[in-house]
Amino acid sequence: MPAAPADKVAIIGASGALGFGLAVRFGRAGVPVAIGSRDPARAEEAAGRARSAAGTGDFSAHDNAQAAREADTVILSVPFRNHSETLANLKEALSPGKLLIDATVPLAAAVSGKATRMLGVWQGSAAEQAAEMAPAGVRVVSALHTVSAAKLNDLDRVLDEDVLVCGDAREDKREAALLIERIDGLRCVDCGPLETSRTTESLTALLIGVNTRYKVHAGIRLAGLPDVPWE
């Protein structure tokens, strides 16, 4: 059954490793994907690679702003050094009512520091910065920080981990969760208000350290939490 157009997701920064992995996994799951990149040529190239990796799926290529116009749900997956500039450039495209899922992590690597350390963000987290910068009426949640890009990109890998979702409105988190859970093996957990993103974002730096130390691609699982449906 083909997915309804309402399912379409735009990925801002889809030529990056996390964005690309998400694009491929969503495409395979039957979710139409608007692939966004700063450079339309890189978007085209990424869409071609995604088609070929997924073997199926509906991928279109755009610059970031046009990608954001193409879908009601927009995933923001850019390096933190581009986070503020990207959001400023999306002001026109992010019309009221859109759902913005921010996956950005303020790693110190953004300023040539360690990827195992975080930058202090005045608002508290990248997600709170996004909420401050997004136009009024845009609904902001954060998610997907702890999902390994390498694992998403390796389609032979079975995913089996949790996605920690933060946001100030339960309904927005639910909407994000129902989309994200279309990717097999990802379970979304409501981790509280958007401010808790301070913790979920910083888990990425912790996992990068663990990955280096143990030579793995680790994710997070909340132990002792039974499957609780979002519906």
Taking CB under 8 A as the criterion, which residues in 168-227 touch a copy of itself? Answer: 189-192, 195-196, 198-200, 202-203, 205-207, 209-210, 213-214, 216-226
Burial of 227 (0-12, 13-18, 19+ CB in 10 A): exposed
Tell me which residue of 133, 144, 123, 44 sits closest to 90, measured CA to CA. 133
Task: Give the count of alpha carbons within 13 A of 52, CB side only.
Answer: 6
Tell me which residue of 14, 30, 104, 22 sits closest to 67, measured CA to CA. 14
Interface with a copy of itself, residue 117, by CB under 8 A: yes
Interface with a copy of itself, residue 229, by CB under 8 A: no
Q: Which is nearer to a copy of itself, 138 or 164 (CB)?
A: 164
Q: With contacts defined by CB under 8 A, name the span among 54-62, 101-109, 130-138, 154-162 that binds a copy of itself.
A: 154-162
Asked if residues 200 and 164 have their Cβ atoms less than 8 Å apart, the reply is yes
Phi, psi of 7 (to 5 degrees): -80, -10
Q: Which is nearer to a copy of itself, 64 or 148 (CB)?
A: 148
Q: Which is nearer to a copy of itself, 46 or 207 (CB)?
A: 207
Query: Binding residue for a copy of itself (CB under 8 A) from 148, 152, 172, 179?
Result: 148
Q: Give min distance, CB of 117 to a copy of itself, in A.
A: 8
Cα separation of 30 and 45, whole Å?
A: 20
Cβ count within 10 A of residue 147: 27
Tell me which residues touch a copy of itself (CB under 8 A). 116-118, 148, 151, 160-162, 164, 189-192, 195-196, 198-200, 202-203, 205-207, 209-210, 213-214, 216-226, 228
